[in-house]
Structure 1
Amino acid sequence: MIDNRVVAVFGAYGHTGRFVVECLRERGWRVRFCGRDALRLEQAAAFQPGAGVRVASIDDAASLDAALAGCAAVLNCAGPFCDTAAPLIEAALRAGIHYLDTAAEQQPVLAAFERYDAAAREAGIAVVPAMAFYGGLGDLLASAALGDWIQADSVEIAVALDRWHPTVGTRITGERNKAKRLVIEDERLVELPSPSPSRDWAFPEPFGRQAVAAVPMSEIALLSRHLRTRSAVAYLDQGSLRDVRDADTPAPVATDAGGRSAQVFAIEARVRRGSDVRRLGARGRDIYAVTAPLLVEAMERLLDGRCRDRGTLAAGAAFDPADFLAALAPEPLRLYRGED
């Protein structure tokens, strides 16, 4: 029997997983800590009264089934998602519960649409991949900026970070993710040209005008599934790109009681139709920490009926994008209208 207040978090002891667990706790949910490392699960759950612990491995379907049994949804925070997404989605389908993840990689997101949409519709559940800073947030901003337009000539998403101190998980995913990066051209997904296109982008303060390079992640995969646009590309500021490529860049360091780093960000969507341009952005602190309220807000909307459909869904298609973003403002996101 499903307990509608219990949520399974796979990878609950990871960097992002810990933020997700705390967000769930603050919103009154009971967490089932799931993952392959029994000791780390017990240590993470020790500070959560009433929490359940289930050791589970992606290569052991029975352990996944036991981990998800009785839960209302599963949140997958354990990358690389090229390894974990498919086994967890299949376990969610067997359990008949919603699945959400935080994938930044394009290929597991595309595979979720191609392989599991029909099965999820038949099961009456939603599979929502990439519900995170990279992926879902950009998709929501672009969808909200599009507004009453039914199509666009171009969609651009740009990210500026004052620094990027990658987690161990980010580094492992980067090493494993050898798939070619895709952008949208002529309404089709095509390989990003080499060298990556670059340009300047006018961000709000404290960033100002920044040199950015095309670094498309899972937001392009999401956009390709529901927005009508001739082209779409995503950019990252050059300084952050150097940070994440430098093996000596340290991991994030907590600077408050909630575990957030001092990192600040801006992310902006620019949608063009003819000569008309619409820009919508969001500012905040710590890209890993802000993923938690994005993910949990999406899960709550699935469970309380504020989701538009079933099957594999992009964030901007699953939810009312403007309403979703407004629910997270002014904290943890401060929304703004950009200018050319």
Structure 2
Amino acid sequence: MMIMNKNSTFVAVYGATGHTGRFVIGELLRRGLPVLAVGRDISSVPAGVIARIASIDDAAALDRAFADCAVIINCAGPFLDTASPIVEAALRVGSAYLDVTAEQASALSIFERYDERARAAGVAVIPAAGFYGGLADLLASALIGQYAVDNMTIAIALDHWWPTKGTRKTGERNRVPRVVLENGRLVPMTIPAARTQWTFGAPHGLQEMEEMPFSEIITISRHPQVRNLRAYLNVASLRDVRDDATPPPVAIDTLGRSAQNFVIEVVAHDGAGSRRALARGQDIYAVTAPLVVEAATRMLQPSFVQSGTLSLAQAFDAENFLRSFKPEQLIFELNAA
């Protein structure tokens, strides 16, 4: 059995020069962790960061790049194309793996294909550890703990969605039909997508919503406590991302964040009524960085001994994880009114 070497030198970021990758590099540097940038183009890697070239279709180059890495963070979408080659490399060299996919098919494939091999290698593989997938998974687990609920709803509102080049590319690539959780099973989402209304707190208020499940359906489905799960996104943000004329995000602060504000609410419904958890903050791409880097930091600790394919909330105590963030990074409320 190969055991993950936590004495390895680096946390590697694949896709380090992409929009999300740059946020992740910055967060690793702020935490004082040794960073290695890996990708097919390393020309714009920040000064002082060690960089190695490796394309996704060159297994030998990937192995050389990751050979002395304890954790690999994959920020390069579309993850339907990049996740499996990098997981394969991680298993060969004994590195833990994280990615930030919103793609349901990619997350599901990693969970289903790699659990046994990751356990044999003694490493943890955690897909969908970003805003989509990971954050709702943490909120859901913090909300219900080990208690079972029949129905859960996720509602997300963005005041704008300025899509990155990577988001555009992923949307073109990912044509796999979306799924929802129904009676404990993943089933195709009904087309046309359902519409509803949702009242958020300020500044979002009353929003028209459209059913739009991302990788959170896959991560939460890994827990047997939820029987039926639906996810909605506000229509205004969908208009933005569906409009080819919508520009990419523009930085407005020293951290590189855009002016976008988000809120994500998770509501559990049972015979006793409804319970709610929420998170809100600035810039869905930027907030992915503290989420995935917090996971990497915890995976480096000697106390972390889990292996196999896991969601964030399976790997870590969800409420403790969420309460680790500063308010300027993420505001978390449990059983919010």
Q: TM-score range by the shorter chain?
A: over 0.9
Question: More displaced, 139-148 or 14-23?
Answer: 139-148
Gap regions ≥5 residues in structure 1: none
- Aligned mates of 2:153, 2:299 — CA distance in 1: 28
Give the alignment partner of residue 267 of structure 2, picking from 266, 270, 293. 270
> How far does residue 227 in structure 1 lie from its aligned partner after superposition?
3.6
Conservation of the 8 A alpha-carbon contact between 2:183 and 2:228: yes
Correspondence 1:150-299 to 2 at 5 A? 151-299=148-296
Conservation of the 8 A alpha-carbon contact between 1:57 and 1:63: yes
- Aligned mates of 1:320, 1:331 — CA distance in 2: 21
**Could you report, residue by residue, the CA deviation over 1:141-188 in whole angstroms, capped at 9, with x for unpaired residues?**
011111251x11111111101100000000000110010000001111
Give the alignment partner of residue 26 of structure 1, picking from 15, 30, 34. 30
- Aligned mates of 1:230, 1:43 — CA distance in 2: 46
**Could you report, residue by residue, the CA deviation over 1:6-64 in whole angstroms, capped at 9, with x for unpaired residues?**
11110000000000000000001121110112xxx13213x2x2x22111111110010
Conservation of the 8 A alpha-carbon contact between 1:9 and 1:31: yes
Task: State TM-score, norm by structure 1.
Answer: 0.95
> How far does residue 287 in structure 1 lie from its aligned partner after superposition?
0.4
Name the structure 2 match of 1:60: 58
The one-letter code matched in structure 2 to 1:78 is A
Compared with structure 1, are the counterparts of its residues 240 and 233 closer, same or farther at alpha carbon in structure 2 (3 Å cutoff)?
same
**Could you report, residue by residue, the CA deviation over 1:67-100 in whole angstroms, capped at 9, with x for unpaired residues?**
1011111000000000000000000000111000
- Aligned mates of 2:169, 2:328 — CA distance in 1: 30
Name the structure 2 match of 1:144: 142
- Aligned mates of 1:96, 1:120 — CA distance in 2: 9
The one-letter code matched in structure 1 to 2:62 is L
- Aligned mates of 1:305, 1:198 — CA distance in 2: 47
Name the structure 2 match of 1:70: 68
Name the structure 1 match of 2:103: 105
**Helix, strand or coil: the match of 2:35?**
strand
- Aligned mates of 1:302, 1:197 — CA distance in 2: 39
**Helix, strand or coil: the match of 1:99?**
strand
> How far does residue 209 in structure 1 lie from its aligned partner after superposition?
1.6
The one-letter code matched in structure 2 to 1:20 is V
Give the percent of matched residue pairs that are identical in Structure 1 and Structure 2. 52
- Aligned mates of 1:76, 1:185 — CA distance in 2: 30
Compared with structure 1, are the counterparts of its residues 92 and 243 closer, same or farther at alpha carbon in structure 2 (3 Å cutoff)?
same
Name the structure 2 match of 1:330: 327
- Aligned mates of 1:221, 1:191 — CA distance in 2: 12
Compared with structure 1, are the counterparts of its residues 263 and 338 closer, same or farther at alpha carbon in structure 2 (3 Å cutoff)?
farther
Aligned length: 333
Task: State TM-score, norm by structure 2.
Answer: 0.95
**Could you report, residue by residue, the CA deviation over 1:111-139 in whole angstroms, capped at 9, with x for unpaired residues?**
11111000001111100000000110011
- Aligned mates of 1:255, 1:145 — CA distance in 2: 33
Computed over aligned residues only, the root mean square deviation of the Cα atoms, in angstroms, reads 1.5
The one-letter code matched in structure 2 to 1:189 is L
Give the alignment partner of residue 12 of structure 2, picking from 8, 19, 30. 8
